[in-house]
């Protein structure tokens, strides 16, 4: 008889953790969008925190690029366009001679000299009276194409005809959306082809080639005279700082950053004996950068980190409090069905941990990604090479650690409170 | 008469609610003995204490005075684990507001108590399907509560209450949110469980249709039992009431 088998009082078994884990995963899945909203609170906080940390890791400026113009250049309608190493006394005429003289279609009346600074001088060498001009390193001599105008005309005609044919064909496309898209494509292509044709018809001088040379070390930040000095002969960090006139008033001596070209980034605390000793032995090579941060900026950044932690805490506890509170009724129901308090708490903690890990990870990806994109786009992508793997992983660790810990802690209190309520009370809660 | 015959006994059960200095006596010395296999309706005006009594008998709240015995065990003596065991396997609950878990399908809702009872997943699912078929929802296994009508939701709740073969089904106004016809169907379903499976049914209700199927009716007013009637005594009245209704 059914009733008789139920006579004995038993003790409810505690379900294995694996079972609770499966239920939590399922619970997140079945209320997917709700979970996403809850996770968004965690995500935003952590993304903010990580972006502040990333900014701290990327505070040193990019290593300055050094350019040199050791040559003069000859381009355009000469027999052999060339780069000639600079010697005193080179003139426009002499360098054209060296390039094998004018080609047949050369327009001798508008020989252009592009100076290193960007100024242009146009010389009429058809006229024998025109004086020759001396060149300096980095100057470029350009001989235009005498048939350039004709070329431009042909290009313009061809492109315009093609564009008109294209546009007419586009108007025959039946679907409105496709018509707009194809028309736009034809116009864009036409403009592109036209500008390419016009600039490549031998009338405009090309860009002056630059050569990168690395020969100096650089000091930047809170120094009296930030400099770029030749790096030969094993300059020590101490010497480099002295050469830069010493620290400025706001210098943060505890966090001097040394970015070596071929080694991981170092942070030196010059207020300790150890750091001072290191400064005497650490030598700087070409392309190395010493950056002295601003102490007040650092305080601001620490303040920002604290603020972002506060934002995280508030955002996360708010999210978790909401997500537990709106499920009081569900908790009451589960207890009516035989759930132990411990199991309810376990369920919510597991769910919180899963959400915490997932959302913090996403926060790290986005916070770090955005900061890296921003820094790369504004200061050059080379800046990102300054980040070390350790720094990136440490940010990940902080993000996931802080996010998960806060989420779990914020869940414990309301979950325990809900689980300990008599089911009748939990069921009465309306939100 | 052996003690075994009583599945539920309440002894001087009292419940007071204190809110902002004023004390409200929702139950005031309720003595009620319910036989195994009985169908008992608890009737009374709104605010008379039906739901409060339901919570006391079901172990969903603690009385402030007196004791409740389930199968001769004083519920006050049970620890949290024993109480959970009781709620899981001995009592099945049905609520006016259904209290299904909104994000879960009908089948998942019905299977939930089997999970808490430690039943393997496959067995639980099998049991859930069997129960949903029994309440006529074999084709609605994967519907969410929001995709079911009120009557269908209450059927799911009934199926859920039966998941672990309880000896007692406690129902608090199971037909309160349903129309006349659906309410009648639910009542007949409960009666069937009572007759065919020997489940004791205790139902708080306003629904006079319930009188038809009850073995006894407990009338309460202001937290006290006013009178208890055997069905035989009130057959006549019901006849009158049905006449009024139709
Ligand atoms: N948690 C609570 N806190 C304070 N007062 C309560 C609480 N629960 C019930 N009461 C009070 O106890 C009394 C009995 O309430 P109960 O819900 O048991 O009535 P009921 O008979 O179920 O009424 P209804 O038919 O309207 O459901 C009411 O006066 C109610 O206000
Ligand atoms: Mg009630």
Three state DSSP letters for A215-281: CEEEEEECECCCCEEECCCCEEHHHHHHHCCCECCCECHHHEEEECCCCCCEEECCCCHHHHHHHHH
User: Fold for domain B6-239?
Assistant: Rossmann fold (3.40.50)
pLDDT of residue A175: 83
Q: Which atom of ligand 1 is nearest to the CA of B19?
A: 4
Instruction: Spell out the domain ranges in chain B.
Output: 6-239
- CB-proximal residues (5 Å) to ion ligand 2: B 51
Residue among B85, B163, B197 minimizing CB distance to A10? B85
pLDDT per position as a tens digit, A90-104: 899 999 999 999 999
Query: Do A9 and B78 make contact, defined as CB atoms within 8 angstroms?
Result: yes
- A7 pLDDT above the threshold of 70: no
ipTM for the assembly: 0.89
- B9 pLDDT above the threshold of 50: yes
Q: Please list every residue in chain B whose beta carbon sits closer than 8 Å to the beta carbon of residue A1.
A: 198
Mean pLDDT over residues A317-341, rounded?
Answer: 91
Q: Please list every residue in chain A whose beta carbon sits closer than 8 Å to the beta carbon of residue B156.
A: none
Query: Do A338 and B87 make contact, defined as CB atoms within 8 angstroms?
Result: yes
Confidence of residue A22 (pLDDT cuts 50, 70, 90): confident
Q: Which residue of chain B is at minimal alpha-carbon distance from A340?
A: B84
pLDDT of residue A364: 96
CA of A430 to the centre of ligand 2 (A): 15
- A204 pLDDT above the threshold of 60: yes
Residues near A280 by beta carbon (within 8 Å), at least 6 away in sequence? A236, A237, A238
CA of A337 to the centre of ligand 1 (A): 22
- Helix (H), strand (E) counts: chain B: 7, 10
Mean pLDDT over residues B5-30, rounded?
Answer: 92
pLDDT of residue A388: 86
- B245 pLDDT above the threshold of 80: no
Beta strand pairing status for A111-114 and A120-123? Answer: antiparallel
pLDDT of residue B236: 53
Specify the residue for token string 């039966």: B162
For chain A, percent of residues with pLDDT exceeding 70:
98
For chain A, percent of residues with pLDDT exceeding 90:
45
- A6 pLDDT above the threshold of 70: no
- B242 pLDDT above the threshold of 70: no
Mean pLDDT over residues B3-11, rounded?
Answer: 82
pLDDT per position as a tens digit, A214-262: 788 999 999 999 999 888 778 999 999 999 999 998 899 999 999 988 7
- B188 pLDDT above the threshold of 60: yes
pLDDT of residue B237: 54
Query: Do B164 and A341 make contact, defined as CB atoms within 8 angstroms?
Result: no
Confidence of residue A5 (pLDDT cuts 50, 70, 90): very low
Rg (CA), chain A: 35
Query: Do B115 and A19 make contact, defined as CB atoms within 8 angstroms?
Result: yes
- B243 pLDDT above the threshold of 50: no
pLDDT per position as a tens digit, A355-401: 999 999 999 999 999 999 999 998 888 888 888 888 999 999 999 99
Mutation site for A-interface testing, chosen from B17, B49, B115 by largest number of A Cβ within 10 Å: B115
- B101 pLDDT above the threshold of 50: yes
Query: Do A3 and B117 make contact, defined as CB atoms within 8 angstroms?
Result: no
pLDDT of residue A301: 86
B243, burial (CB in 10 Å: exposed 0-12, middle 13-18, buried 19+): exposed
pLDDT of residue A88: 83
What distance in Å separates the CA atoms of residue B48 and residue B65, rounded to the nearest whole number?
A: 17
């Amino acid at each position: 008889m059914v009733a008789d088998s139920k006579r004995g009082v038993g003790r409810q078994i505690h379900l294995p953790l694996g079972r609770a884990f499966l239920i939590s995963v399922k619970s997140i899945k079945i209320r997917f969008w709700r979970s996403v909203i809850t996770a968004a609170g965690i995500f935003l906080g952590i993304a903010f925190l990580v972006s502040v940390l990333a900014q701290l890791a990327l505070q040193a400026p990019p290593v300055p690029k050094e350019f040199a113009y050791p040559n003069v250049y000859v381009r355009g309608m000469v027999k052999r366009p060339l780069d000639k190493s600079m010697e005193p006394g080179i003139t426009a005429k002499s360098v054209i001679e060296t390039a094998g003289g004018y080609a047949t279609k050369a327009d001798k009346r508008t020989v252009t000299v592009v100076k290193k600074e960007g100024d242009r001088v146009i010389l009429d060498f058809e006229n024998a009276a025109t004086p020759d001009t001396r060149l300096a390193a980095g100057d470029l001599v350009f001989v235009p194409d005498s048939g350039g105008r004709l070329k431009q005309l042909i290009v313009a005609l061809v492109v315009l005809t093609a564009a008109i044919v294209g546009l007419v064909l586009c108007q025959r496309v039946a679907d409105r959306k496709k018509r707009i898209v194809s028309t736009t494509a034809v116009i864009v292509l036409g403009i592109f082809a036209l500008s390419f044709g016009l600039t490549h018809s031998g009338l405009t001088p090309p860009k002056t080639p630059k050569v990168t040379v690395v020969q100096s070390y650089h000091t930047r930040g809170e120094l009296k005279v930030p400099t770029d000095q030749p790096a030969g002969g094993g300059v020590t960090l101490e010497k480099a700082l002295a050469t830069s006139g010493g620290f400025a008033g706001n210098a943060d001596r505890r966090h001097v950053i040394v970015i070596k070209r071929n080694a991981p980034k170092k942070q030196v605390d010059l207020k300790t004996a150890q750091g001072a000793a290191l400064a005497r032995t650490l030598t700087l090579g070409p392309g190395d950068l010493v950056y002295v941060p601003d102490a007040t900026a650092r305080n601001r950044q620490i303040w920002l980190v604290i603020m972002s932690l506060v934002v995280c805490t508030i955002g996360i506890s708010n999210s978790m409090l909401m997500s537990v509170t709106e499920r009081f009724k569900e908790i009451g129901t589960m207890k009516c069905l035989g759930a132990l308090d411990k199991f309810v708490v376990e369920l919510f903690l597991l769910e919180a941990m899963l959400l915490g890990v997932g959302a913090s990870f996403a926060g790290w990806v986005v916070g770090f990604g955005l900061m890296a994109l921003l820094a790369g786009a504004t200061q050059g992508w080379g800046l990102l090479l300054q980040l070390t793997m350790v720094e990136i992983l440490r940010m990940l660790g902080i993000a996931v650690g802080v996010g998960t810990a806060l989420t779990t802690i914020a869940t414990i209190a309301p979950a325990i409170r809900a689980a300990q309520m008599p089911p009748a009370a939990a069921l009465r809660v309306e939100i | 008469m052996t003690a075994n015959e009583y599945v539920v006994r309440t002894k001087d059960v009292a419940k007071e609610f204190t809110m902002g200095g004023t004390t409200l006596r929702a139950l005031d010395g309720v003595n009620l003995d319910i036989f195994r296999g009985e169908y008992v309706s608890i009737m009374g005006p709104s605010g008379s204490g039906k739901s409060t009594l339901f919570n006391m008998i079901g172990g969903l709240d603690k009385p402030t005075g007196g004791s409740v015995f389930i199968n001769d065990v004083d519920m006050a003596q049970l620890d949290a684990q024993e109480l959970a065991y009781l709620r899981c396997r001995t009592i099945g609950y049905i609520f006016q507001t259904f209290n299904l878990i909104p994000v879960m399908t009908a089948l998942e809702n019905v299977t939930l108590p089997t999970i808490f009872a430690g039943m393997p997943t496959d067995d639980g699912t099998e049991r859930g399907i069997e129960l949903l078929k029994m309440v006529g929802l074999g084709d609605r296994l994967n519907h969410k509560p929001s995709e079911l009508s009120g009557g269908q939701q209450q059927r799911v709740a009934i199926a859920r209450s039966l998941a672990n073969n309880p000896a007692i089904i406690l129902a608090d106004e199971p037909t309160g949110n349903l129309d006349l016809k659906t309410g009648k169907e639910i009542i007949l379903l409960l009666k069937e469980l009572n007759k065919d499976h020997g489940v004791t049914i205790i139902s708080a209700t306003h629904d006079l249709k319930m009188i038809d199927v009850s073995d006894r009716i407990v009338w309460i007013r202001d937290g006290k039992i006013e009178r208890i009637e055997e069905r035989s005594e009130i057959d006549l009245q019901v006849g009158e009431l049905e006449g009024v209704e139709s």
